[in-house]
Chain A
């Protein structure tokens, strides 16, 4: 065997061994436990506290508002979609208040004119032209938007 081939083979074996060593050291221990991902990722995510409590939790105290909203065009929107996650408020309702967004930009998240949104399904406005200096909630009640 010529000397260059011998040296290359040695180098090749060394490089491959280094690769295998790195693969062994860097692959997370729980990789492949359930599928092609780190198995512990599931447990780590499951251990996180849930931030959203669901609309049923709101109904316990705010039943009148929830009832109004559930009869309106916004019936399919969850309370926390606008008011934010409620996990702290449920534990300490006095000190931890929910968000009460009232800006034009907030409503525009859904109601700004967008060609890709079906107009039959969602009312849309060009927020640069539709009463530009007013707040939406001065005319529209978000819990009863059709009025």
Chain B
């Protein structure tokens, strides 16, 4: 048989009930799942950094720079899943040079650029400027020239100039917090504003995306912080780790409450889409939603982190619990994005049927491609940590917020 028809018959065998022809195959696959996941990690890591800087949580000081570098490494990759999904990388700049001001998607280019250039890059630059001046004097070869170029030829590392760095960096962080909210709230808005899809169309979507972003970003920085200390054979600052876990616990409570509120609202309203959505939740999404996202990604971390707020076992045990919990949280948030993106395309907009989705291993939308875009940010982070080692920075306290 003609391969085209083999494909049609295979696709039709995945269909249950009635479905429109253009809904049989999913147009958004794992790369579009990665996009909100990676963007969320950026926003979350940045918000953890600003807890130290703006909200003056001193215990988080050792994670400040790590959080910023993590956010930066993931930010550089955030658009890649989108560009590779669209498959026309040479047209990507068109949304910048001929901006369509009424398209939410097109505005993303500017939100992204603002956040990357004005917020993240500047904050890291102000934090490292004086160090780069000092390092450029001792370093040799490539490093020396990179430091010179990145410090924009400034030679001044005096306490006076550091005060200015702190002041300006503080202003950037204050601008950065609403920008981080804007960046990830916007990703939620893209889904929340699609009124034809009842699984996406809720005003809660930007808020839920924002808080789940914070959850995943904090968990990631916690893991990076622990791994860095293991690799460098340093004793982990337990006050810092306990404090990150405490904030992670608080934000998971808020996130869990908001997501539950959204679902309860859906159940209580029971609009005409309710039947298909409840079938979706108890059927196609049973494993990824109820087991992966809610049980493994939310309830177990809530129980473990909650218990550790009252009962403190030995440091080694606490570290192990934090490590596993961090991984579970990241796993759960990844599947939260999965359930939104893939789940929203599994049911027919006629509300009478389902299609199904099978992730391929290779190919432009396959598992391997997605893995590449999840590994690259860690390689970038390793490079950044080599070039800008936080442990070699001159110790100084940020100026208290004025």
Contacts and interface: CB of A to CB of B under 8 A. Distances in A.
Interface of A: 2-5, 7-8, 11, 15, 19, 22-23, 26-27, 31, 36, 103, 105, 108, 112-117, 127-128
B19 A105 contact: no
B5 A127 contact: yes
Contact of B5 (A2, A11, A27, A105): A105
Contact of A26 (B12, B15, B93): B93
B2 A7 contact: no
B154 interface: yes
**Which of A2, A26, A108, A127 lies at the interface centre, i.e. has the most chain B CB atoms within 10 A of its CB?**
A2
A8 B156 CA distance: 15
A25 to B, nearest CB: 9
A116 B24 contact: yes
Contacts of B5: 105, 108, 112, 127
A7 B98 contact: no
B18 interface: yes
B142 interface: no
B9 A7 contact: no
A113 B154 CA distance: 72
Contacts of B100: 36
B323 to A, nearest CB: 39
Contact of B19 (A5, A113, A116, A128): A116
Contacts, number: 66
Nearest to A127: B5
B164 A116 contact: no
Given A114-B12, A116-B21, A116-B24, A3 B168 contact: no
The 9 closest A-B pairs by CB, nearest first: A2-B164, A105-B2, A7-B152, A23-B97, A116-B21, A26-B97, A27-B97, A115-B15, A116-B19
B1 A128 contact: yes
A127 B1 CA distance: 9
A3 B8 contact: no
Contacts of A3: 154, 156, 161
B131 interface: no
B93 A115 contact: no
Interface string B233-275: 0000000000000000000000000000000000000000000
A112 B153 CA distance: 70
Nearest to B126: A4
A108 B4 CA distance: 11
A76 B122 CA distance: 64
Interface in B47-106: 93, 96-98, 100
A5 B154 CA distance: 11
A116 B97 contact: no
A118 to B, nearest CB: 10
B145 interface: no
Contacts of A4: 126, 129, 152, 154, 161, 164-165, 168
B292 to A, nearest CB: 30
A115 B12 contact: yes
A106 to B, nearest CB: 9
Contacts of B353: 115
B20 interface: yes
B18 A116 contact: yes
Contacts of B161: 2-4
B4 A114 contact: no
**Which of B9, B96, B122, B153 lies at the interface centre, i.e. has the most chain A CB atoms within 10 A of its CB?**
B9
